[in-house]
């Protein structure tokens, strides 16, 4: 990956050029998106203006034979938070862009007309075509149309109607191994930024390319083998995730009393067993779907699946834990088929499932509909958001806007972004990350990726009572580094528990790049990513006051444990003191 495709949508006719990496040499994924945003986007610019940029960057090893290395980063100034954003997605596009040699696509400017463009990228170059017939198509119909035009060996990144309407919850869909638009760069409204650039779809065809060769073949091959074996032998990555998917967490969070129910009112949901990962896997198998499925070629964990309707017809991919929670327990809905339908509609309209579940939860709190009203939730999403009615536009701009419009106090957001499926009062260490991450409330920003063996922050006593701030800091650093490699975060447990698997991962990177990175270098990379992101946000007007949870988490005791959020502001301000 030695080139950048820079597309300028301003001017009479949009144009593009292909550049060398220049200052961005050696960066990939989140490290690259955040570096470009930091360097090239005026922090005070409007997120939907010509000054903002949309950066799409495959991870450093994407397009190679490295297992599970096909994660993609999408960066911009977020219309949802007003700060920097990196949204991460699976699917095929990352591998394909890597094979075509692109370290990044940077889309800048803004078209003068209302034309909607499609981009076609293959080994021979780039074509940009205005195509009004694509306007307001849902992602599923759009991709069918692209397959008719370009065949079924393509990968696509696209926006649905929500992106065209520039809703702050709009996502960018990435197609999966079956060329379905099921994997989304979901968070922060990246789809609205793509919409503001007038781009509906990027079609990628990597035919005629080969996989990226490592610099040190033997070192890479050996490390890849040990790494893959390590993932397969670990009970989480080799058994739990493939068998049940991430939704295996429903029963666990519910049992722990940390499962936010009815818009974060209490921590246990009566219907949890009906929508758990265990129930979902049984249902999928019984209906001829799949409980084990990879979102991109080369994934050896395969945490996903295929969810069929009652008649055995494809409905959607296996919804993830956060989606099942957002549209399920958070809205008092315990019907798996309804949740799967909501997931399908989100994917089709191009919406972040977490943000939409949170918006609907807030709307329920406001009395627009009752908690548990499954048909009402489908109607809101399909008829209001999908059609862009005034109410739909309020909901589609996220939980914070919805709360403000309807006068709701209990709005679970940080920096304007909705919290995921872990209540901050029950799992306060995760809440430290929610509060302080430059991304807004984000459960993946401080993932348990084995910061200890990465050497980040030294050894922390697991049972030391005051370690939450330190742990959150270490995890955020380690996650920022991993997000830059293209490796999926779900490798976490295997590298956390098995030193040989962690070493194989570092060796894999070194064998591929022909470098001799140490764990310290990896930690330094993570710190530099966070520094760019924090500095950008500071220049955009963010202060320590934005690194806070909403007040009600400090005041409202959360059943069944009846605890409030107890980490002090002073402690939160220590997270980035390294």
Min separation Cβ 57 and ligand SF4, Å: 17
Q: Is the peptide bond before 189 cis (omega within 30 degrees of 0)?
A: no
Edge to edge, what strands does the sheet with 117-122 contain? 125-130, 117-122, 199-204, 155-158, 172-174, 183-185
**Distances from the Cα of 138 to the Cα of 167, 173, 436, angstroms:** 15, 11, 35
Distance CA(136)–CA(142), nearest Å, equals 9
Cβ at position 514, least distance to ligand SF4 in Å: 25
φ and ψ of 535, to 5 deg: -65, -40
Verify binding: residue 223, other proteins, rule CB under 8 A: no
Which helix (H) or strand (E) element contains residue 304? Answer: strand 304-308
Q: How many residues bind ligand SF4 (CB under 6 A)?
A: 12
Of these, 61, 179, 341, 427, which contacts other proteins (CB under 8 A)?
427
Residue 457: how many CB atoms within 10 A of its CB? Answer: 18
Binding at 187: pick from ligand SF4, other proteins, none (beta carbon under 5-8 Å per type)? none
Which positions ≥6 away from 242 have C-beta within 8 Å?
Answer: 291, 292, 301, 302, 303
* Least distance in angstroms from the C-beta of 148 to other proteins: 38
CB closer to other proteins out of 74 and 272: 272
Q: Is 214 in the site for ligand SF4 (CB under 6 A)?
A: no
3-class DSSP state for residue 120? strand
Interface residue with ligand SF4 among 9, 301, 456, 482 (CB under 6 A) is: 301
Q: Which residue has the tokens 């993609």?
A: 72
Minimum CB–partner distance for residue 453 and ligand SF4 (Å): 20
Q: Which helix (H) or strand (E) holds 118?
A: strand 117-122
**Residue number, 303 or 529, with CB nearest to ligand SF4:** 303
Say whether residue 450 binds ligand SF4 (CB under 6 A).
no
Does 460 engage in binding with other proteins (CB under 8 A)? yes
Q: Is 431 one of the binding residues for ligand SF4 (CB under 6 A)?
A: no
496 contacts other proteins (rule: CB under 8 A):
yes
One-character DSSP codes across 211-251? PBPPSSHHHHHHHHHHHHHHHHHSIIIIIIHHHH-GGGHHH
For residues 119 and 200, the answer to whether their CB atoms sit within 8 Å is no
**Window of 97-105, 192-200, 276-284, 359-367 that interacts with other proteins by CB under 8 A:** 276-284
When binding is defined by CB under 6 A, the residue of 177, 304, 323, 532 that contacts ligand SF4 is 304
Helices of type H across 234-373: 241-244, 249-255, 277-286, 321-327, 336-349, 353-365
Among 453, 488, 525, 572, interactor with ligand SF4 by CB under 6 A: 488
Q: Which does 467 bind (CB under 5 to 8 A by kind): ligand SF4, other proteins, none?
A: other proteins
Q: Is 299 in the site for other proteins (CB under 8 A)?
A: no
Q: Does 258 bind other proteins (CB under 8 A)?
A: yes
Name the one range near ligand SF4 by CB under 6 A: 117-125, 161-169, 292-300, 525-533: 292-300
Query: Which of the listed partners (other proteins, ligand SF4, none) does 191 bind, with a CB threshold of 5 to 8 Å by partner kind?
Result: none
Closest alpha carbon to 28 in 485, 378, 438, 370: 485
Q: Give every CB contact of residue 148 below 8 A, 6+ residues apart in sequence.
A: none
Contact 34, 533 (CB under 8 A): yes
Number of residues that bind other proteins (CB under 8 A): 63
Q: Does 169 bind other proteins (CB under 8 A)?
A: no
- Residue from 447, 502, 512, 536 touching other proteins (CB under 8 A): that is 447
The least distance separating other proteins from the CB of residue 294, rounded to whole angstroms, comes to: 15
Helix then strand count (H, E) for the chain reads 22, 17
As measured in angstroms, the least distance from the Cβ of 478 to other proteins is 11
Identify whether the C-beta of residue 69 lies closer than 8 Å to the C-beta of residue 223. Answer: no
Nearer to other proteins, 117 or 259 (CB): 259
At its nearest, how many Å lie between ligand SF4 and the CB of residue 182?
A: 11
The two three-digit tokens of residue 32, written as one number: 């690259």
Strands (E) across 21-60 are located at 54-58
Q: Is the CA virtual torsion 382, 383, 389, 394 positive or negative?
A: negative
Query: Which stretch in 78-86, 234-242, 348-356, 402-410 sits in contact with other proteins by CB under 8 A?
Result: 234-242
| Residue 351 dihedral angles phi and psi, to the nearest 5° | -135, 150
CB of 428 to other proteins, least distance (A): 6
Encoded tokens for 15: 């144009």
Residue 462 lies near other proteins (rule: CB under 8 A):
yes
244 is a contact residue toward other proteins (CB under 8 A): yes
Q: Which range binds other proteins by CB under 8 A, 126-134, 165-173, 426-434, 513-521?
A: 426-434
Residues in touch with other proteins (CB under 8 A): 235-237, 239-241, 243-244, 246, 248-249, 251-253, 255-258, 268, 273-274, 276-279, 282, 286, 303, 321, 422, 425-430, 432-433, 443, 446-448, 452, 460-468, 471-472, 475, 490, 492-493, 496, 560-561, 563, 566
Residues in touch with ligand SF4 (CB under 6 A): 68, 90, 294-296, 299, 301-304, 488, 490
């Amino acid at each position: 990956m030695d080139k950048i495709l820079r597309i300028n949508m301003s001017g009479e006719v949009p144009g593009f050029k292909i550049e060398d990496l220049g200052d961005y040499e050696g960066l990939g994924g989140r490290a690259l998106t955040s570096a470009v945003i930091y360097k090239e986007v005026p922090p005070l610019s409007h997120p939907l203006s010509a000054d903002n940029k949309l950066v799409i960057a495959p991870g450093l090893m994407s397009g190679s034979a490295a297992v599970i290395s096909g994660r993609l980063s999408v960066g911009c100034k977020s219309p949802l938070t007003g700060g920097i954003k990196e949204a991460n997605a699976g699917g095929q596009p990352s591998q394909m862009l890597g094979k075509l040699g692109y370290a990044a696509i940077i889309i800048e400017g803004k078209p003068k007309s209302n034309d909607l463009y499609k981009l076609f990228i293959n080994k021979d170059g780039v074509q940009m075509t205005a195509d009004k017939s694509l306007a307001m198509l849902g992602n599923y119909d759009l991709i069918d149309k692209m397959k008719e035009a370009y065949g079924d060996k393509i990968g696509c990144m696209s926006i649905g109607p929500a992106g065209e309407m520039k809703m702050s919850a709009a996502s960018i869909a990435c197609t999966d191994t079956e060329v379905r638009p099921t994997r989304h760069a979901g968070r922060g409204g990246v789809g609205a930024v793509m919409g503001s650039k007038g781009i509906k779809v990027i079609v990628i065809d990597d035919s005629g390319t080969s996989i990226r060769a490592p610099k040190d073949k033997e070192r890479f091959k050996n490390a890849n083998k040990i790494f893959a074996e390590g993932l397969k032998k670990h009970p989480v990555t080799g058994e739990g995730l493939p068998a049940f998917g991430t939704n295996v967490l429903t029963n666990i969070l519910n049992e722990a009393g940390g499962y936010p129910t009815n818009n974060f009112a209490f921590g246990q949901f009566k219907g949890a067993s009906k929508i758990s990962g265990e129930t979902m896997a049984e249902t999928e198998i019984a209906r001829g779907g799949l409980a084990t499925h990879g979102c991109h070629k080369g994934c050896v964990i395969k945490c996903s699946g295929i969810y069929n309707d009652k008649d055995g017809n494809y409905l959607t991919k296996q919804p993830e834990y956060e989606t099942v929670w957002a549209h399920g327990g958070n809205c008092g809905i315990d019907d798996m088929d309804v949740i799967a339908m909501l997931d399908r509609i989100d994917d089709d309209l191009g919406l972040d499932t977490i943000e939409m579940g949170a918006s609907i939860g807030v709307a329920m709190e406001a009395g627009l509909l009752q908690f548990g009203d499954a048909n009402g939730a489908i109607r809101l999403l399909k008829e209001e958001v999908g059609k862009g009615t005034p109410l739909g536009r309020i909901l589609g701009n996220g939980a914070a806007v919805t709360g403000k419009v309807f006068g709701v106090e209990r709005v679970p957001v940080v920096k304007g972004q909705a919290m995921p499926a872990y209540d901050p009062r029950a799992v306060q260490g995760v809440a430290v990350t929610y509060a302080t991450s430059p991304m807004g409330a984000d459960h993946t920003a401080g993932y348990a990726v084995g910061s200890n063996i990465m050497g980040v922050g030294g050894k922390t006593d697991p049972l030391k009572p005051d370690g939450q701030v330190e742990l959150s800091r270490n995890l955020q650093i380690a996650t920022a580094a991993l997000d830059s490699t293209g490796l999926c975060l779900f490798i976490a447990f295997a590298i956390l528990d098995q030193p040989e698997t962690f070493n194989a991962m570092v060796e894999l990177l070194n064998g591929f790049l022909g470098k001799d990175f140490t764990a310290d270098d990896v930690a330094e990379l993570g710190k530099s990513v966070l520094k760019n992101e924090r500095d950008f946000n500071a220049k955009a007007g963010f202060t320590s006051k934005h690194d806070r949870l909403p007040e009600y988490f400090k005041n409202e005791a959360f059943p069944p444990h009846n605890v409030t959020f107890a980490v002090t502001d002073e402690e939160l301000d220590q997270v980035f003191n390294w």
